[in-house]
Chains A and B, each alone.
Chain A
Amino acid sequence: MTTAPPDERPARQPTRPVVLLRPVPGRSAVHELWAGTKLLVVFGISVLLTFYPGWITIGLVAALVLTAVRIAHIPRGALPSVPRWLWVLMAFGGITAAFAGGSPVVELASVPIGFGGLLNFLRITTLSIVLLGLGAMVSWTTNVGEIAPAVATLGRPLRLLRIPVDEWAVALALALRAFPMLIDEFRVLYAARQLRPKPVAATRRARRKRRARELIDLIAAAITVTLRRADEMGDAITARGGTGQISAAPSRPKLADWLVLSITFAMCAVAIALEVPLGR
């Protein structure tokens, strides 16, 4: 950003930040779904895409994500700005892949051009975008308070294997509670570091040594802060007589949840049915 004269308002390109674990305001059918359903859908589709990363599957999942976005009224502004280096990186990958040529060869102005490499590259890129979109949908439509109880319910069968699912759910609930507090504390920590002078070191070796020491100090400060916070929260837990319930309103899958689950299941089945005969 350049120096702006005081009388003139500098034009700033607004970069939209990444907002984590905060639902988009508003209610919709997707917001109302049980958190466990959403987790199951995301998990199931991740597995499907791992096994069958074909165009048909990707297309079907993309359609599902877009429908969910439409239903949940997610505005375009929810997407964070893509930093420029990512575009550069993608363009570089695309260009090198395009040079490879490959099986679908198209004659453009009597020059044969192979699109196989580019198509492969596009497929992997779309796959990552669709997977990220799927995760983002959960984050955009789910109140973090619903996640831990849902995990506890979903993990109930694991209890038979003597796996401490409830312990995990409590840890997860506390982690999600501590999340915004710690983000704030780390912001302050980072700002406090910015306010400090940067000592000049003569040699490269001294500089490296200094950087290492600073890093260790910063980590130590961060860990001290988190442990202090953990001790205080631990006191609060003891004052409440240990762990127990984590949610006031027990949530269960409703009719809509079963509907969504069956749609997802049907979609997976269709994708597999279409992919298997086409596969190599």
Chain B
Amino acid sequence: MAALCAAIAIIAVVVPFAGALALLGTVPMGLLAYRYRIRVLIAAVVAAGMIAFLIAGLGGLMTVVHSAYVGGLTGVVKRRRRGTRTVIGVAFVAGALSGGAAVGALAVLSRLRHLIFQAITANFDGIAAVLRGIGRFATAHPFPFSGPLGAGLEVAADRLKWLLAEALHYWPWLILANGIASIVVVSLIGWWALSRVLERMRGIPDVHKLDAPVDNAPIAPVPVRLDQVRFRYPNTDHDALSALSLDVHAGEHLAVTGANGSGKTTLMLLLAGREPTSGTVDRPGAVGLGRLGGTAVVMQHPESQVLGTRVADDVVWGLPPGTTIDVGRLLSEVGLDAHAERDTGSLSGGELQRLAVAAALAREPALLIADEVTSMVDQQGREALLGVLSGMKQRHRTALVHITHYNNEADSADRTINLSGSGDNTDMVETTAAPAATAVVGHDSGAPVLELAGVGHEYASGTPWANTALRDVSFAVHQGDGLLIHGGNGSGKSTLAWIMAGLTVPTTGTCLLDGRPTYEQVGAVALSFQAARLQLMRSRVDLEVASAAGFSPKDHERVATALAVVGLDSALGKRRIDQLSGGQMRRVVLAGLLARSPRALILDEPLAGLDAATQRGLLRLLEELRREQGLTVIVISHDFTGLEEVCPRILHLRNGVLEPASATAGGL
């Protein structure tokens, strides 16, 4: 139910935009109707319609309704396994109904009808008058063919007026017929296009983890005792968690560490109420996920954790109606008391996670599970968040299970459990050394590759929302350089990356690549975005690499070579994108980008969300590429750890300005 609600909401956002591109808006609606009940579709239409109304008035609302009709029709027909004939039948009825409704509405709204008809008549009369004028002119002047041309034009003008008069006379029939015809045609086109797209969408996996437990026993999740617990996901051939025994006492602070794939998240699911495949989980009462005095979970992605649009709203979000809590006290506990009225969209990752903790504490949980809450947060935010978590013990009788892959975060815990070695570690397939470099280019001190001079950028300039992201940034990058641009959240580092890749035109100053502005040569500088998934557009690894690199997917040789450059086995080529781990996704993106031999490679937060071993592997790869192939690497990150080898040179960015102290030579 919850996942569904979110799906509705999100699709509601997509539709008004996609709706502007005619048929595209029907895709999400079709998917909803295909997967869920009609009631879901209606809720989505209401939400989407409301947003469209706010953005574009009644016209936007109509677009949404239209998309919902076509998408809903296709989705439902497809789910019931009916064919084209059903579509035509339903479309005919719908067309007759909507045509009839339009006729009825125009019959009642006579003033609007007159206005519309007058406007149409005026335009037609105008065209006719022009045609006639040209015709007279032609008849009056002795050009070649001017006689027949002039007469023809005048006849055409008369025909046009007559046609319009006839059409307006029979308007109800015309509108009805038009309604039926257009709706049948649109439905058929929608059906034809959508059924192909829906086939493709079927493969998108459902990645939701938590299920609301159905248990009416009194809520008491701790103390909990796990005895020889195993867990195996359906359709897999190995245990995600094997033979684990564990106690969590009331009020204690327990840290759980381990690499990716060691079963940390699985343990979270078990504590949150999933039934194990074998073994026993003993607790005195029900789990009470999200209930008062029950279990609360805070997860990895900061933005998805926060559900309210204002900070104070988010704290109470989802509480049973009628419950009152002290929002101010909770916010001051996590250090956000000054921000109660702020938009959650403007919070940094660390602030979002602290807000999620406050929302969890609003339920006075007996057990709080924090699942890798710091992995997407910058250093400053991480410290504040850890401070909140370790200070919790003084004020609440809450048992804290802190799951993390940073060893130092486990230090403040009463006890630490290391899961590594207990499960199957689905690590990266790393082949031997990368193939020998084709052209080794040394560090030459000639002309710089990238040269930024006085670059500044302001978003939405000229509007009341104007926001300066960068101010007077100047530096140069040479061939084979390794540069780290370091800065916290909101320092403008991502904007800088977009400018260097040519995706954004800076409002002031110039960013030159080999002497020409970068925005004229988009693609010459490769950019790997923080969210690797957004950069993978094809369904399979080999198709993806071929498309990103611009060669034919049948060219297996080159695909294999491209994969080998980033240390991936060519056997991975047939794997579906959705089955890759985070580290593999990042490497596939790099394979596609590097195969085009870019002038420079920019990586935005390449280490976010990866565990220590995967991070080390990726850094080693980047280092080799820079050393042996002379690749120019620019890393944008809020982290320093491990980056010294790849990026010997560091620039600090704060509030859109380069900090002069550590800005090394190389500027202009």
Query: What is the minimal beta-carbon distance from B572 to any residue of chain A, in angstroms?
Result: 19
Which range holds the interface residue count of chain B? 35 or more
A44 within 8 A of B: no
Name A221's closest neighbour in chain B (CB-CB).
B537
Chain B nearest CB: distance from A175 CB in Å? 4
Verify B111–A51 contact, CB threshold 8 A. yes
In the assembled complex, B415 has its CB within 8 A of some CB on chain A: no
Indicate if the CB atoms of B44 and A240 lie closer than 8 Å.
no
Q: Does A274 contact B (CB under 8 A)?
A: no
Q: Is A64 close to B, CB under 8 A?
A: no
Are the C-beta atoms of B534 and A247 separated by less than 8 Å?
Answer: no
- Is B527 within 8 A of A195, CB to CB? yes
In angstroms, Cα B6 to Cα A235, docked, is 9
Residues of A with C-beta under 8 A to B379: none
A231 x B3 contact (CB < 8 A) = yes
> Which residues from chain B contact A229 at a C-beta distance below 8 Å?
6, 10, 304
Contact B44 A245, beta carbon cutoff 8 Å: no
Q: Are B197 and A234 in contact (CB under 8 A)?
A: no
A109 within 8 A of B: no
Q: Which of A118, A139, A245 contacts B317 (CB 8 A)?
A: A245
- Asked if A230 and B290 sit within 8 Å, CB to CB, the answer is no
In the bound complex, do residue B522 and residue A236 qualify as a contact, i.e. CB atoms below 8 Å apart? no
When distances are taken between beta carbons in the complex, the residues of chain A under 8 Å from B321 are 244-245
Q: Mark B304-332, 1 if CB is under 8 A from A, else 0.
A: 11111110110111111101000100000
Q: Contact at B345–A180, with CB atoms within 8 Å?
A: yes
Do A99 and B119 touch across chains, with their CB atoms under 8 A apart?
Answer: no
Query: In whole angstroms, how far apart are the Cα atoms of A172 and B51 in the complex?
Result: 8
Contact B298–A239 (Cβ < 8 Å): yes
**CB atoms of A238 and B290 under 8 A apart:** yes
| Contact B10 A175, beta carbon cutoff 8 Å | yes
Minimum CB distance partner of A217 in chain B: B537
Which segment of A83-91, A163-171, A254-262 sits at the interface? A163-171
Q: Does B526 contact A (CB under 8 A)?
A: yes
State in angstroms the CA–CA spacing of A98 and B301 once bound together.
58
Residue of B with least CB distance to A219 = B27
Q: Is the CB of B196 within 8 A of A235?
A: no
Query: B14: nearest residue on chain A (CB-CB)?
Result: A226
Give the contact stretch, choosing among B510-518, B559-567, B639-647: B510-518
Return the CB mask of A147-183 against B: 1 if under 8 Å, else 0.
1000100000000000010011011111111111110
Q: Which residues of A contact B515 (CB under 8 A)?
A: 6
Establish whether residues A21 and B55, one from each chain, have CB atoms under 8 Å apart when the complex forms: yes
User: A residues 213-256 with Cβ under 8 Å of B?
Assistant: 216-249
Known: A9-B508, A231-B6. A117 touches B126 (CB 8 A): yes
Contacts of B298 in A (CB 8 A): 239
> What residues on B are CB-neighbors of A235 within 8 Å?
2-3, 208-210, 297, 299, 304
How many angstroms from the CA of A238 to the CA of B465 in the assembled complex? 35
In A106-165, which residues have CB < 8 Å from any B CB? 116-118, 120-121, 123-124, 131-132, 134-135, 138-139, 143-145, 147, 151, 164
Q: Which residues of A contact B57 (CB under 8 A)?
A: 46, 131-132, 134-135
B55 touches A182 (CB 8 A): no
CA distance A171 to B505 in the complex (A): 36
Task: Kindly state whether residue A277 has any CB partner on chain B within 8 Å.
Answer: no
Give every chain B residue within 8 A of A189 (Cβ-Cβ).
534
Q: Contacts A191-B503, A241-B363: A175 and B12 contacting too (C-beta < 8 A)?
A: yes
Give the distance to chain A from B605, nearest Cβ to Cβ, in Å.
Answer: 12
Interface centre among A51, A116, A238 (most CB of B within 10 A): A238
With a cutoff of 8 Å between Cβ atoms, the chain B residues found around residue A16 in the complex are 460-463
Contacts of B319 in A (CB 8 A): 240, 244-245
Chain B residues positioned under 8 Å from A51 (CB to CB)? 109, 111-112
A205 interfacial contact with B, CB 8 Å: no
Question: In the complex the two chains form, what is the Cα distance from A96 to B125 in whole Å?
Answer: 8
Question: Judging by beta carbons under 8 Å apart, are A145 and B122 in contact?
Answer: no
CA distance A143 to B346 in the complex (A): 13
| A234-B2 contact, Cβ under 8 Å, with A145-B313, A179-B13 | yes
- In the complex the two chains form, is B126's CB within 8 Å of A24's CB? no
Q: Closest chain A residue to B506 by CB distance?
A: A12
**Contact pattern, B 203-246, Cβ under 8 Å of A = 1, otherwise 0:** 01011111110000000000000000000000000000000000
Min CB distance A144 to B, Å, is 5
Q: Interface with A: B385-393, B544-552, B628-636, B650-658, which one?
A: B544-552
Q: Is there a chain A Cβ closer than 8 Å to B135's Cβ?
A: no
User: CB distance B6 to A230 under 8 Å?
Assistant: yes
The verdict on A188 contacting chain B, using a C-beta distance below 8 Å, is yes
Is B121 at the interface (CB under 8 A from chain A)? yes
**Contact status A242-B10, CB under 8 Å:** no
Whether A233 pairs with B10 at a CB distance below 8 angstroms is yes
* A247 near B462: Cβ-Cβ < 8 Å: no
Are B523 and A135 in touch, CB under 8 angstroms? no
CA gap between A268 and B125 in the complex, in Å: 34
Q: Are B531 and A248 in contact (CB under 8 A)?
A: no
Contact B44 A171 (CB under 8 A): yes
Query: Residue B568 at the A interface, CB < 8 A?
Result: no
In contact, B538 and A217 (Cβ under 8 angstroms): yes
Question: What 1/0 flags go to B462-496 for Cβ under 8 Å of A?
Answer: 11111000000000000000000000000000000
Compute how far the CA of A232 lies from the CA of B2 in the bound complex, rounded to whole angstroms: 10
Check if B624 is an interface residue, CB within 8 A of chain A: no
Q: Does B201 contact A (CB under 8 A)?
A: yes
Set B115, B306, B318: member contacting A120, Cβ < 8 A: B115
Q: Interface readout for B357-384 with A: 1 if CB under 8 Å, 0 if not?
A: 0011001000000000000000000000
Given that A196-B523, A236-B299 are contacting pairs, would A19 and B460 also be in contact in the complex, using a CB cutoff of 8 Å? yes
B643 to chain A, nearest CB (A): 23
- Cβ–Cβ < 8 Å partners of B94 in chain A: none
Q: Is B463 within 8 A of A237, CB to CB?
A: no
Contacts of B510 in A (CB 8 A): 4, 6, 9-10
The 10 closest A-B pairs by CB, nearest first: A241-B290, A234-B3, A174-B9, A99-B126, A197-B550, A117-B122, A232-B304, A237-B2, A100-B125, A145-B309
Residues of B within 8 A of A (CB): 1-14, 17, 24, 27-28, 31, 39, 43-44, 46-48, 50-51, 53-58, 109, 111-112, 114-116, 118-119, 121-127, 129-130, 196-197, 200-201, 204, 206-212, 272, 288-291, 294, 296-299, 301, 303-310, 312-313, 315-321, 323, 327, 340, 343-345, 356, 359-360, 363, 451, 453, 460-466, 498, 501, 503, 505, 507-510, 512, 515-517, 519-520, 522-523, 526-527, 529, 531, 533-539, 547-550, 578, 593, 596
What is A's interface to B at a CB cutoff of 8 Å?
1, 3-4, 6, 9-10, 12, 14, 16-17, 19-22, 24-25, 46, 50-54, 74-75, 77-78, 80, 93, 95-102, 116-118, 120-121, 123-124, 131-132, 134-135, 138-139, 143-145, 147, 151, 164, 167-168, 170-182, 185-186, 188-189, 191-197, 199, 216-249, 279-280
Q: List 9 A-B contacts (CB under 8 A).
A: A6-B512, A9-B510, A12-B505, A25-B465, A98-B126, A124-B115, A135-B54, A177-B309, A195-B523
10 additional A-B pairs beyond A17-B460, A240-B363, A280-B114, beta carbons within 8 Å, are A16-B461, A50-B109, A99-B125, A134-B57, A164-B43, A216-B196, A220-B204, A223-B201, A226-B13, A236-B304
